[in-house]
Structure 1
């Protein structure tokens, strides 16, 4: 299976790529600068590195890139610098999600493509009417005013929920919501829930980036797991932090 990963140079995106390569998939990545990529990627026959700025690709170029892909995964995020947070592109994740989905739909494929979006527990799944405390609502309201990346994450997931929906002939989707991300060297036990089991603001859990990459790769690789979560926004916690709840 050929899979496109965007945001592959990031800390979580690179873990996803590694997990897909372990599963012997063919992987394409779109990165602005290949310099930061692991050296081993340059000699891996199952990995194609496309050096480009994603949003600067033409519609035709993007359509060609996704033409042979059975799945697309986005681990895009904003750099946590002043420029990354407040300057353009302020809707990086949303615009990339929309353009990738449009590229997929343009192919008029017989079978739907899997689209996996990395999102955040700070974003509610409005299909489930998830309840949060008044205090958390206030904090989220401030985040919407002060941090454009939070709004970007919300809009990207909302695009999948409302524009792609549950019965699209070309695209099936899952938006994975990790809690606080940490670095670990190995995959450990983790748990998946339909909704957060703890406050993302006042009692956040943790999940390793490698666990997130493993779960996203498993969604793509395992059709039964995909059937369980498609059209949903599952929350992932490393088991250690579930036990501490």
Structure 2
């Protein structure tokens, strides 16, 4: 299968490219910084492109987008602009299958595993302040994808963390109780969508249970680097 990975040089994108190569797929890794792309191997094509203006998707069987930017208090338009470019490029190239990464925070909800601290303090604070412009633009992205005539899937992870391997991650429609998603699991979920039609035209939340950090442990790591 010919897979195009957009945002390939991010934490999830690199894992996705490696998993796809390990599975025997041909992969086009699209990144603005091809010179720093660390993954190598047969079947890999690394292409330089800014996806807000150009999406090289010709010849693809599936397009997997892991595009993302850090939080900013300034207006964020990367998700909506890149999605408009991707959709136009896919229509022009006759490519139908699209999978995009969004976030569970685009639809804030009570997490059964989150407790008071996440549900009443952290989530409302982040979504209303440093994450507001990011999540607003993600919602525009989701709307553009849903309104397209493509075979789309929107994947919503929760708080991302690094792990050594793929686990038995959990999938739920639209939103989930889990509060963490490993990047390895997110990459594996994205890759699975390349050949699985079960979630076409649907939004799926992916979360990690096995080996996930505690909320306090994650906060301590982010605050103190421990």
Q: TM-score, normalised by structure 2?
A: 0.80
Q: Distance between the aligned counterparts of 2:74 and 2:29, measured in 1?
A: 24
1:46 aligns to 2:43 (yes or no):
yes
More helix as a share of residues: 1
1:208 aligns with 2:182: yes
Q: Which residue of 2 aligns with 1:16?
A: 16
Q: Tell me the TM-score normalised to structure 1 length.
A: 0.74
Unaligned runs of 5+ in 2: 112-118, 215-226
**What's the counterpart of residue 98 of structure 1?**
84
Question: Quick one: distance in 2 between partners of 1:56 and 1:237?
Answer: 32
Residue 77 of structure 1 aligns to a residue whose secondary structure is coil
Among 137, 143, 160, the residue aligned to 1:152: 137
Task: Identify the residue that residue 229 of structure 1 maps to in structure 2.
Answer: 199
Contiguous gaps of at least 5 residues in structure 1 = 125-129, 199-203
How far did 1:197 drift?
A: 3.4
Report the Cα distance in structure 1 between the residues aligned to 2:203 and 2:125, rounded to whole angstroms.
21
Matched residue SS, 1:54: coil
Determine the structure 1 residue equivalent to 2:60.
69
How many residues are aligned here? 206
**1:37 correspondence with 2:37:** yes
Question: What is the CA-CA distance between 1:86 and the residue it aligns to?
Answer: 4.7
Matched, 1:28 2:28: yes
1:179 partnered with 2:170: no
Could you report, residue by residue, the CA deviation over 1:94-151 in whole angstroms, capped at 9, with x for unpaired residues? Answer: 11111111111123x3xx6210101111012xxxxx96599689557624x8632121
Contact 1:6–1:31 (Cα < 8 Å) also in 2: yes
**C-alpha distance 48-240 of structure 1, shift in aligned 2 (>3 A):** same
Q: 1:176 to 1:113 in 2, by over 3 A?
A: same
> Measured at CA, do residues 148 and 70 of structure 1 come closer, stay the same or move farther in structure 2, by a change above 3 Å?
same
How far is the alpha carbon of 1:159 from its aligned partner? 1.2
Q: Does 1:142 align with 2:123?
A: no
* Cα displacement string for residues 35-85 of structure 1 (whole angstroms, at most 9, x for unaligned residues): 3311x42xx23111112322243xxxx4xx3221011111111135xxxx2
Tell me if the contact between 2:159 and 2:179 (Cα under 8 Å) persists in the aligned partners: yes
Distance in 1 separating the partners of 2:180 and 2:151: 27
* Alignment partners' CA distance in 2, 1:119 and 1:173: 13
Q: Deviations over 1:156-203 (max 9, x none)?
A: 111112x21xxx2xx2111111111110111111110113333xxxxx
Q: Secondary structure at the match of 1:240?
A: coil
Using the TM superposition, give the Cα deviation of residue 25 of structure 1 relative to its aligned residue in structure 2, in angstroms: 0.9
Runs of 4+ in 1 over 4 A off after TM superposition: 130-141
Cα RMSD for the two superposed structures: 2.8
SS in 1 for 2:194: helix
